A and B are shown apart, each in its own frame.
Chain A
């Protein structure tokens, strides 16, 4: 009978309860069976490399002043524009991963299968974080390499062996993945795609603009802590200059933001009715 087959089947399994591994398998299948995931990854890659090449072919190094030449950073210039697109795509993908489940009603099927809701969010974060981290690192390296190839003499070229260059490329590549985590967390708190996308775009693009009129002292004290400026001033730069945070501190702070967003999302999912 069915109960007997059930218990026999259950006995064949080494583990006797769902856990992170089985939930992550579900989330991986969900992520990879949507076309939009791969559309985002392809657009991300094309954008990173294309914008890197575009930026570097239009450097116009020979027209720069002496001061501008001194601060010329061929690493930052080859990857930063692409990262702006990357953070938008990653943030939106993170948001949609959660909000599309709420809008379709899929979330109830998910939570019926796995009642421990924070575990579901953790599995989503692990799977999506891994995909976006891998994509981010690969595309940032490719953008860096293609960008250097597109840069014309007499501009100085960067090589991975030079001090700070490998660090800048590696940390920059991790940036979109961390932004995706912020998107996931905001999506779990807000639940509606439009609202959550607005929130993630505000964090990425609007906050730096909003603090601009507050004067330079506020700007120096606030702007360097904002995610986009962390990428602009600390992560992608070979030699960050004060008041920008050091790359290590900036990266740690970004990880704190991602963890805080996920914690808020897990709390909201566990507390509210599905």
Chain B
């Protein structure tokens, strides 16, 4: 569903993403892992056509993002939690986005119900807590009922109940045959949900594997992850 080939992205002299290639398959939750600053968000923005790669390309079902006919019906994304105008209500935000891709108003009510924010739908989104904002972002991602979902740290700011809800939602979406790519810097957060794993560090691919294969490498999954990313952490404290 998602094919990244030789992605390179530079910001001035920093190489944020370095010849990165990977595949994301339909019907699975794929964890996108790496330490802070590894290039996860940059890669996701390149998949969405928001940042232009300096080299390489991404295809979604064989098309570049710019070629999609109804982008919201083909790819849904949660990139940053507060990607809405604080003065608009949740419903107004979703209705406006829906209109751009000719998605009916009924679907707005559906995604408000799926994400559990119907009661807050007519409140201004600027007053939302981080968890509510996150749910609104997920509602926007689901608007077009898309076969591909990109979620950048979706559990951020969610309470334990919310975290369980998002895990179940991701599994449910994958079981319906969708490709779900979810980024995180915590392996423990992903291990419960993801089957496939893409691990990157300093912009390079460290492994494209599965949770089962990675955990077989060391005494624990976490230990295996630290061995993999040990040499490529940009920011580490000392104690």
Hey, which bits of chain A sit against chain B, CB under 8 A?
Answer: 1-3, 5-6, 9-10, 13, 15-18, 22-23, 25-27, 29-30, 33-36, 100-101, 104-106, 108-116, 273-274
Contacts and interface: CB of A to CB of B under 8 A. Distances in A.
A17 B68 CA distance: 8
A54 to B, nearest CB: 32
B70 interface: yes
B55 to A, nearest CB: 15
A6 B51 CA distance: 28
B40 interface: no
Contact of B85 (A15, A23, A26, A104): A104
B57 to A, nearest CB: 14
A115 B45 CA distance: 12
Contacts of B201: none
B73 A10 contact: yes
Contacts of A105: 79-80, 82-84
Given A112-B72, A113-B72, A115-B66, A273 B51 contact: yes
Interface stretch (B97-105, B113-121, B157-165, B188-196): B97-105
Contacts, number: 114
B177 A18 contact: no
Contacts of B15: none
B100 A18 contact: yes
Contact of A22 (B66, B82, B87, B102): B102
A22 B72 CA distance: 13
A13 B102 contact: yes
Interface string B168-200: 000000001110000000000000000000000
A210 to B, nearest CB: 34
20 contacts: A1-B176, A6-B145, A6-B147, A10-B70, A18-B102, A26-B99, A29-B95, A29-B99, A33-B88, A105-B79, A108-B45, A108-B50, A110-B97, A112-B50, A113-B71, A113-B72, A113-B101, A273-B52, A274-B45, A274-B50
B92 interface: yes
Given A17-B70, A108-B50, A273-B52, A113 B100 contact: yes
Q: Is the interface of A mostly helix, strand, loop or mixed?
A: helix
A111 B100 CA distance: 10
A109 B99 contact: no
A111 to B, nearest CB: 6
A14 B65 CA distance: 22
B83 A2 contact: no
A114 B144 CA distance: 13
| Residue among A1, A18, A105, A113 with the highest chain B CB neighbour number at 10 A | A113
Interface string B37-74: 00000000100111110000000000001101111110
Contacts of A110: 97, 100
Interface residues of B, number: 40
B177 A113 contact: no
Given A9-B73, A104-B84, A115-B49, 16 more contacts: A17-B69, A17-B70, A22-B99, A30-B85, A34-B87, A101-B85, A104-B83, A106-B83, A108-B45, A108-B80, A108-B83, A109-B97, A113-B71, A115-B65, A115-B68, A274-B45
A114 B69 CA distance: 9
A25 B88 contact: no
Contact of A104 (B65, B73, B86): B86
B29 interface: no
B4 interface: no
A13 B82 CA distance: 31
Contact of A112 (B52, B77, B86, B145): B77
A80 B101 CA distance: 42
B44 to A, nearest CB: 10
B49 A18 contact: no
Contacts of A35: 87
Contact of B89 (A2, A3, A27, A33): A33
Contacts of B84: 104-106, 109
A2 B145 contact: yes
